[in-house]
Each structure stands twice: as C-alpha cells, then as structure tokens.
Amino acid sequence: MEETAKKKESSIVLALDFPFHSPENREKLLAKAQDVLEAVHSYVCAVKINHHLVLPLGTFDGVQQLVTRIHEKGLCAIMDCKVNDIGATNQVIAEYYYAAGFDALIANPFIGWEEGLKPIFDIARKLQRGVILLAYMSHKGASEGYGQKIYDEETGAKTAQYLSFAKKALKWNADGVVVGATYPEKIREIHEILREKVPIYSPGIGVQGGAAETALKAGARYLIVGRDITLAPQPGEAAEKLCLAIKQAR
Ligand code: XMP
C-alpha cells in the first residue's frame, strides 16, 4: 500500500459502499461497484469492502470478482468486517476472507488477545496478510466504548481506552489502526504513541463531518472515503478532486 500510495500520490482508501439494493438487483449492484472502481482506481491507493457488498454479492461470488479486479488495478483490498467474536470463530472468519484474496481485515481490539485476536494475527502472519485494529471510531457513540476511562493493566494508572488500544496495536504488531477523522485530537494523541510504526487509517471524511486535511495534519496516513465518492454523480471526478485538494494542502 505504501508503494502504491507513493506511486499514485494518493492516500485515499476507497470505501466501496452503496445503499441497499433489493436482492433481485444484485447484478446491478455488482456492475455499479465495478464501474466505480474503474472510474476511481487511478486516484486511490487501496479499496475497502464492507458488508454493503459481502451480504448481497457473497464472498466467493461477486466480492471475489471485485477483489481480483482490485488487485489487477495494483491496489490492496481491505475487508472491513470488524471481527469481534471468540478466537475459534475469528480464525474461520479470517481464513475465509484471506481465501477470498483480501490483503487485510479490520478487527475489534475489545475482544482482547488470548482466544480473541491472537488466532487472527497467527493466520495473518502465516499468510503474510494484514490486521488493522479499531482504535477510536468515527461516530458519536464512540465515546461510550473507545473513549471510556480505564485503569492501565500494567501501571494501574487511569487512562483512556483508545490510548490503551494504541499501545496494544504496537505490542501486537498491528498493520494499522482506525481512528475517525471526526476526532482529529484523538488522531494526534494516538499518533504520539504510534509515530510512523503503525499507520493510522481515518474514516469519516465528508458525509460524517471529518476533513481530509485536518486528519492528515493530525497524523493520519490513509483516508478512508466512501459516500463522498461512491454517491457522487461522477465518482471519478469526485475522487480526482479530493486527491488534488489533499496534494495542494500538503
Ligand atoms: P463514508 O461513506 O462515511 O464511509 O465515507 C466510511 C466507511 O468507513 C467505515 N467506517 C469505519 N470503519 N472504523 C472503521 O473500521 C470506523 O470508525 C469507521 N467509521 C466508518 C464505514 O463502515 C464505511 O464503510
């Protein structure tokens, strides 16, 4: 991803999300996703897929076709499944998504390491794929979980949940953390801990209220952008415009 981002001079990760389509219209949805990918691929460094496509298109049907296309464009494919179950189940989830060709998946650190995330990291390392952890989500209610005050397991000092997750991302050697662009001050605090060792992926640009330049200045390395591009009348133009604006702001 780092190489692609440099080559394309873009830090945008396209979130290939679309509103609900009735199941009979699955073919239309797949065609739409392919069209947007075709129009946008030159302006992004990776593509993130979510349940918006996995549920209607199926992992080993439409989604795998898309992952193949994403790779043909020289881009990485990230699965935003926010894995959140017991380890044995997580392992199977990860095995299926990696088998479908995904280069990385997103997981929730709330489930912990032993019998939680460890099996995913083990599979990822074996297959040389990535695991990206949530650290502070972009929505308002994020403060109730990611923002709560906790006591640090090692020092006993009072700290914030998201700072503890940032430290765990370092300890577990995660390939990235997700911090909402809607909270630039949290990006800054988490970046203080991670520096350049673990990149920050920041969703919540545009529709959710976050600003690309602010998130980058605070320390985000990649910007996850969905509806601002996918729902634009001309997705290619919207992606190009955003890419240019980011370059100029840097
Ligand atoms: P929009 O349309 O708001 O889409 O640009 C954002 C995409 O990113 C996902 N999203 C998140 N994913 N942590 C994540 O892992 C977050 O805090 C977060 N906030 C938004 C969202 O599901 C959509 O695919």
250 pLDDT band (50/70/90 cuts)?
confident
Ligand 1: residue whose CA is nearest its atom 4: 226
- Residue 179: partners with Cβ closer than 8 Å, 6 or more residues away: 135, 136, 162, 186, 187, 190, 200, 201, 202, 220
98 pLDDT band (50/70/90 cuts)?
very high
Q: Can you read off the two tokens belonging to residue 134?
A: 């949530």
Q: pLDDT, tens digit, for every residue of 119-148?
A: 999 999 999 999 999 999 999 999 999 999
Which of 82, 167, 217, 241 is catalytic? The answer is 82
What distance in angstroms lies between residue 82's CA and the mean position of ligand 1's atoms? 11
What distance in angstroms lies between residue 154's CA and the mean position of ligand 1's atoms? 32
Q: How far apart are CA 195 and CA 183, in angstroms?
A: 17
Tell me if 107 CB under 6 Å of ligand 1: no
Annotation marks residue 82 as catalytic: yes
Ligand 1: residue whose CA is nearest its atom 13: 137
Helices (H) and strands (E) in the chain, counts: 12, 10
Cβ 135 vs Cβ 175: under 8 Å: no
Q: pLDDT, tens digit, for every residue of 216-235?
A: 999 999 999 999 999 999 99
Tell me if 225 CB under 6 Å of ligand 1: yes
Percentage of the chain beyond pLDDT 90 is 97
Mean pLDDT for the chain? Answer: 97
